[in-house]
Chains A and B, each alone.
Chain A
Amino acid sequence: MTTLSVYDPGLDMLSDGAVLPVMPEWSGEPVGSKRDRRTPWLERARLALHPEPMWRSGGHRPDWLDDAVLRLARLLELEPDWDSYGARAVSIAAADTALVLLLGLAGPETPAPHIVPTPAGGVQIEWHTPRLDLEVEIRSPTRVFVGYEFSDTGEEGEFPVTSDFRHLADLVSGLTDERR
């Protein structure tokens, strides 16, 4: 079992006591292999989710979680040049990081995220509510960038996330508050 240690320094600041899952070490086909990456990744995700983490808010499993896991697994099936502009295949590390971030930052009351690939082989998690556009781009486990824009005030910004997740966590909490 390997911890995504890049997040360790920030755990106290983002998790409110939640226990983040640990993604087991990758033992499937080598990255870039054309062999199946979906099935072994799903197996790892299931292991990471067992036992169930304590959710950040509320006590039940988010309704969107299974769809998010399956979506990430599907993105791993994309072949290089999937966008016709030379995109890279989605990396295992990006999928891992996306799942860990979702589990750490989003709860059962959070709206369902959109999850899309990026041309660089990363993953972008997005929410587009009436009030807030929020995008979390995972280029690698150590390179995460956030962009946001509030429709009511016009406030917008973007920032990299390294070890301090508080600003990002506040934005995600804002999505939840909007639904209440």
Chain B
Amino acid sequence: MAAAFTDDPTIPDTAILWRRIPPGDVYLVFDESLNRSRPSSAAFQDSKDGSPMSVFIADDLDGPHDALAGHDGFYLVGFSAGVARECGLSVVRDPANDPPGHAFVVGAKTKSHCRKLARRCRWIVGPPDP
């Protein structure tokens, strides 16, 4: 399993990774320095079952609906694999490829790392404009 958590060089820095964001205002914050709403950094922590942060590789899916299947109302954000690597994190495909296109962002995530991901991600499926 250790080998599975080695950064995957076949995933380029330009690859866009998608992550689901809960519906409504659960994670929504307004960043005055960016002058826009974005998800909280709390949205970029590892899962509580011990598995690393779960993402989808956008190019491996047919569209956002694949990442949101079964999650009505959820939003979707995207950030590049390069941003994750700037934080010293690794990007690896899910060895089980279940669901297809599933990947992990692996490594210890400081508050600074989570904040960087939150500030640099973009809405793919976002909340309606206020």
- Chain A residues within 8 Å of B34, by CB: 128
Contacts known (A116-B26, A116-B27, A128-B29); A158 close to B111, Cβ less than 8 A:
yes
Contact present for A84 and B74 (CB under 8 Å)? yes
Per-residue contact bits, chain A 114-139, to B (CB 8 Å; 1 contact, 0 not): 10111111001010111101010100
- Chain B residues within 8 Å of A145, by CB: 111
Chain B interface mostly helix, strand, loop or mixed?
Answer: loop
Contacts known (A114-B30, A118-B42); A84 close to B20, Cβ less than 8 A:
yes
- Chain B residues within 8 Å of A128, by CB: 29-34
Interface centre among A78, A117, A135 (most CB of B within 10 A): A135
Alpha-carbon distance between A137 and B29 when the two chains are bound, in angstroms: 15
Interface size class of B (residues with CB under 8 A): 20 to 34
- A46 interface residue (CB < 8 Å to B): no
Alpha-carbon distance between A45 and B43 when the two chains are bound, in angstroms: 27
- What residues of chain B have their CB less than 8 Å away from a CB belonging to chain A? 20, 22, 26-27, 29-34, 40-43, 45-49, 54, 71, 74, 110-112, 115
17 sample A-B contacts, Cβ–Cβ < 8 Å, listed by A number: A84-B22, A84-B74, A85-B54, A87-B48, A114-B29, A119-B45, A120-B45, A120-B48, A121-B48, A128-B29, A128-B32, A128-B33, A131-B33, A133-B115, A135-B41, A137-B42, A147-B41
11 new A-B contacts at CB < 8 Å, known A87-B48, A119-B48: A82-B22, A86-B47, A86-B48, A116-B40, A118-B45, A126-B29, A128-B34, A133-B31, A135-B111, A137-B111, A149-B115
Cβ-closest 10 pairs across A and B: A147-B111, A128-B31, A114-B29, A116-B40, A158-B111, A85-B47, A118-B42, A86-B49, A124-B42, A86-B48
